[in-house]
Amino acid sequence: MNKKLAAALSSGAVLVVALSGCSSNKDSGPDPKLVAWAKTVCDAVPAQDAKIRAANASIAKIATDGNLPPKTAKETYSQAFQDMADGYKALAAAIKSAGAPPGVDDGAKRQQDAAKNLSGLATSYAGLQKKVDGLDTKDQGKFAKGLHEVADETKEIGTQSNSGTEALKRLEQGDVKAAIAEQPSCKVAASAAASPAAG
């Protein structure tokens, strides 16, 4: 399999969950209601974050194997895209079910934007999985052409992923960030990040 293609498939895709475990400088601490809200969101993060990272790792691993049979490559991509779709869908559901962060200006809009972006990513990855599942592994030429199309779409998802990261960062501003900083589960996700946000 074409290494450049596999590299393209692995490069465009991950939204590193932006919820970070930075410490807060506030003496009084955030509103207890907001802390409870942050717990609801943060408790969903580590498992989904790990699932998304593992999916990316499996795609990256394919990039280093030039002799992988098309059938194996297809199965690996399909599973990875399904895991990403499931991970983002679960994160979106956690943010949706948490509701708007209490006592935060335009909190409802920020919460809805973040959930919408994550849902959009889930839908995009589900679409990629469907496309990969439809590829013909018996014809190497057709398979390679189909994978090129998937790789192009993956790059587009990279842009979508960036806007998802921005939406999560907007959600996490101010008092929300301080409340999230108190959550051990978000600290776990932040420390798992390859380049955790300095805080």
What pLDDT score does 125 carry?
Answer: 93
> What is the largest distance, in Å, between two alpha-carbon atoms of the chain?
65
What pLDDT score does 12 carry?
Answer: 45
Domain annotation covers residue 25: no
**What mean pLDDT do residues 159-163 have?**
82
Domain annotation covers residue 70: yes
Tell me the C-alpha distance between 132 and 189, whole Å: 29
Summarize pLDDT for 15-73 with one digit per residue, the tens: 445 555 554 455 567 788 999 999 988 888 888 888 988 998 888 888 777 778 889 98
Instruction: Count up the domains in the chain and report the number.
Output: 1
Domain annotation covers residue 81: yes
Domain encompassing residue 163 = 3-7+31-192
The model's pTM: 0.83
Domain annotation covers residue 26: no
Domain annotation covers residue 15: no
Helix (H, G, I), strand (E, B) or coil at 42: helix
Domain annotation covers residue 19: no
Q: What percent of the chain has pLDDT over 70?
A: 79
Q: Where are the alpha helices (DSSP H) in the chain?
A: 3-11, 32-42, 45-63, 70-98, 107-133, 140-171, 175-181, 184-192
Helix (H, G, I), strand (E, B) or coil at 36: helix
Domain annotation covers residue 22: no
Domain annotation covers residue 198: no
Q: Burial-class residue 43 by CB neighbours within 10 Å (0-12, 13-18, 19+).
A: middle
What pLDDT score does 17 carry?
Answer: 52
Of the pLDDT bands very low, low, confident and very high (cuts 50, 70, 90), residue 197 is very low
What pLDDT score does 9 carry?
Answer: 61
Mean pLDDT of the chain: 81
